[in-house]
Amino acid sequence: MMKKYVKALIFLTACVLIICSILSNFIYNQMTVTVTKGIAYTQVYNQAVYTDESGSYIYEIVEKESWNGTIYKVVKNYIVVAEVGEIYSTLMGTVQVDYAVNTSKSLAENSFVEITSGSETVSDTYIVVLSDEVLIIEEENAKSIFYENEVKAKLFTSLEQDVERVISLNDWESFINQIPKLIISGVLIILSLTFCIIFCFKTIKQKKNSIKYIISSGAFLVALFFVLNFTDLPSSILPSENIFDIKHYIDLYCTLNSLL
Amino acid sequence: MKLSKIFISALFLIIGILCLVPFLYIGTMSLSIDAYYEIFLSDFKYLSRFWLSLFLCSSVVFVQIIVSCLAGFAFAKCKFKGKNALYFALIIIMVMPLQVTLVPNYTMFLQLGLLDTYWSLILPSMFLPLGAFILTQAFKAVPTEIMEAAMLDGANVFVVIFRIFASMNKSAVVCVSLLIFMDCWNMVEQPVAYLKDYSKYPLSVILVYLPPETLTAHLVCCVLAVLPVLYLFLYFNKELIEGISLGQVK
């Protein structure tokens, strides 16, 4: 008597866990921040220096072993800056660590990072938000991976004023282009769960021919895996911690809508 | 008389509630959306270990059932020299603590080049004597005439074991599968001893190695670890109880 309920529950849980596995693999890949590596010694790049209430720090790149081999994480490494130059900050003493120089989006403590050495040159348009105005800058020799902090540092030098934010229109367009795939993924998740729930009800009522529902649910899961495999969201547009942070996307949309 | 009964009932009720406290703690303290997001969505590490553990345990159970059926049949129905001594040795190995075999196994795997591979976890678990012991007791209860009749009809020894003896003792086979699965699911010492690579650790070891500052995530991980065992017990509880009672020496 109880077995049919447990069987239904097992199938439902397995379906949810498979969906979570596919999604978590996708989220892990998307949330990994692309960075370029530098070796700190007596100097570090200006764009790699951050400040909080405890002082100035750089993000040290730490190598770790994980489920998929070697992964890289960043941790805060506090430094004492003696002098700030045009490109480099000179440190008080020496620090011998690998650190993140250019980052595709803002880093947080323990963020997963992927190290790249170089990228192709493309033309891009930057929306530059200054304290009192907004500029639209065409860049013919932009990097294919948009590093916000690097662009900010360059603009700070050329404009000689603080840059609040820089948004790459290439990344925004790329993000908009990926939305249909995300909608399809959402629909596939709903369909897969619905068919699994139907299968569970049929199992509880001990009806025949219920196997087709679980096969359909499995087929939708396979489709979900492939759709997400072909989805690549630009890192600079994504929030730094939770990919489902809807407020972040709404704020970004509102900012761009008001600017353009 | 009545007062003493009430006292004993109250005592057992308190003990029962105390046993449930850790589970209630997990249930209440793990209720955090952020922690569930971290374990189930943000980092594939936990679910990948979950599937890995499930695969390891399923492989062990599959081979263990085959080995246990063969050994059980041999001890229950075959006549050969030294059978009783071998059965006695099997029982001695069964009651031996796991830690006794860790170092000899480690040395053996080192020589075979199997250290830091999943074979070092799977191989020793495949030949645990508990399954053979339970199935020997179960197969002893099957009349020898059935085996003889089947053989007269042309069935070979494997058909007799897996189609007749195993299917006549489904509850014992299910009980062995469950006990071995639980044993394998909860293993901690073997992965720590035989696997050097942190990335190969199963879920049971991850639970031990999670840093204390991630307590809520740890508790959500506990929920994940409980699921397969809980479902298996709920599904097969009748067979498990029947199977354990079969394992008692008659």
Q: Does residue B131 surpass a pLDDT of 80?
A: yes
Contact criterion met (CB below 8 Å) for A96 and A39: yes
Across the interface, do B41 and A27 touch by the CB < 8 Å criterion? Answer: yes
Q: Does residue B1 surpass a pLDDT of 70?
A: no
The answer for A 14-73 residues in CB contact with B (under 8 A) is: 17, 20-21, 23-25, 27-28, 31, 65-69
Across the interface, do A244 and B37 touch by the CB < 8 Å criterion? Answer: yes
Give residue A197's pLDDT.
93
Interacting residues of B234 by C-beta distance below 8 A, sequence separation 6+? A2, A6
Minimal CA separation from A242 to chain B, in Å: 8
Average pLDDT estimate for B170-197: 89
Across the interface, do B227 and A13 touch by the CB < 8 Å criterion? Answer: yes
Average pLDDT estimate for B148-172: 89
Give residue A66's pLDDT.
66
Question: Lowest-confidence range among A181-185, A249-253, B12-16?
Answer: A249-253
Minimal Cβ distance to B45: which of A3, A67, A243? A67
- List beta partners, residue A253: none
Q: Which residue on chain B is closest to A112 by alpha carbon?
A: B43
Minimal Cβ distance to A10: which of B41, B45, B231? B231
pLDDT tens-digit profile of B184-242?
998 888 888 898 877 788 888 888 777 777 788 888 888 888 899 999 999 988 888 87
Q: Which own/partner pairs from B116-124 qualify as long-range (CB within 8 Å, at least 24 positions apart)?
A: B116/B194, B116/B195, B116/B196, B116/B197, B116/B200, B118/B56, B118/B200, B120/B190, B120/B194, B120/B195, B121/B56, B121/B187, B121/B190, B121/B191, B121/B194, B121/B195, B121/B202, B122/B56, B122/B59, B122/B60, B122/B63, B124/B190
For this complex, say whether ipTM is above 0.85: no
Please give the distance of CA A70 from its chain centroid, rounded to a whole number: 19
For residues B138 and A193, what is the distance between their CA atoms, to the nearest angstrom?
A: 42
What number of residues does chain A have? 260
pLDDT tens-digit profile of A77-113?
888 888 888 788 888 877 788 888 888 888 888 888 8
Across the interface, do B44 and A65 touch by the CB < 8 Å criterion? Answer: no
Give chain B positions within 8 Å (CB) of A9: 231
DSSP state of A205: T
With a pLDDT cut of 70, the percent of chain B lying above it is 97
Contact criterion met (CB below 8 Å) for B174 and B236: yes
Across the interface, do A6 and B234 touch by the CB < 8 Å criterion? Answer: yes
Give residue A40's pLDDT.
81
Confirm or reject contact between B185 and chain A (CB < 8 A). Answer: no
Average pLDDT estimate for A39-49: 84
Q: Which residue on chain A is closest to B202 by alpha carbon?
A: A67
pLDDT tens-digit profile of B67-121?
999 999 999 988 888 889 999 998 898 888 888 888 999 999 999 998 888 899 8
Structure tokens at B136: 């020997």
Minimal CA separation from A71 to chain B, in Å: 10
Q: Which residue on chain A is closest to B49 by alpha carbon?
A: A67
Q: Does residue A18 surpass a pLDDT of 90?
A: yes
The average confidence (pLDDT) of chain B is 87
Interacting residues of B60 by C-beta distance below 8 A, sequence separation 6+? B122, B125, B126, B180, B181, B184
Element (H, E) at A81: strand A81-84
Confirm or reject contact between B70 and chain A (CB < 8 A). Answer: no
pLDDT tens-digit profile of A219-245?
999 999 999 999 988 888 888 778 888
Minimal CA separation from B20 to chain A, in Å: 21
Across the interface, do A10 and B235 touch by the CB < 8 Å criterion? Answer: yes
Across the interface, do A66 and B51 touch by the CB < 8 Å criterion? Answer: no
Confirm or reject contact between B148 and chain A (CB < 8 A). Answer: no
Contact criterion met (CB below 8 Å) for B203 and B57: no
Give residue A215's pLDDT.
92
Mutate to test the interface with B, among A18, A67, A72 (most CBs of B within 10 A): A67
Confirm or reject contact between A10 and chain B (CB < 8 A). Answer: yes
**Angle between helix B170-185 and B44-77 (nearest 10):** 140
Backbone angles phi, psi at B224, to 5 degrees: -60, -40
Give residue B247's pLDDT.
54
Give residue A133's pLDDT.
78
Binning pLDDT at 50, 70 and 90, where does residue A42 land?
Answer: confident
- List beta partners, residue A138: A125
- pLDDT higher at A65 or A122: A122
Interacting residues of A12 by C-beta distance below 8 A, sequence separation 6+? A196, A197, A200
- List beta partners, residue B62: none
Give residue B29's pLDDT.
80
Q: How many CB pairs under 8 A join A and B?
A: 54
Binning pLDDT at 50, 70 and 90, where does residue B250 land?
Answer: very low
Binning pLDDT at 50, 70 and 90, where does residue B249 land?
Answer: very low
Give chain B positions within 8 Å (CB) of A2: 234
Average pLDDT estimate for B30-34: 80
Across the interface, do B231 and A6 touch by the CB < 8 Å criterion? Answer: yes
Average pLDDT estimate for A57-73: 80
Q: Does residue A67 surpass a pLDDT of 70?
A: no
Across the interface, do A66 and B47 touch by the CB < 8 Å criterion? Answer: no
Give chain B positions within 8 Å (CB) of A243: 42
Confirm or reject contact between A84 and chain B (CB < 8 A). Answer: no
The answer for B 211-240 residues in CB contact with A (under 8 A) is: 227, 231, 234-235
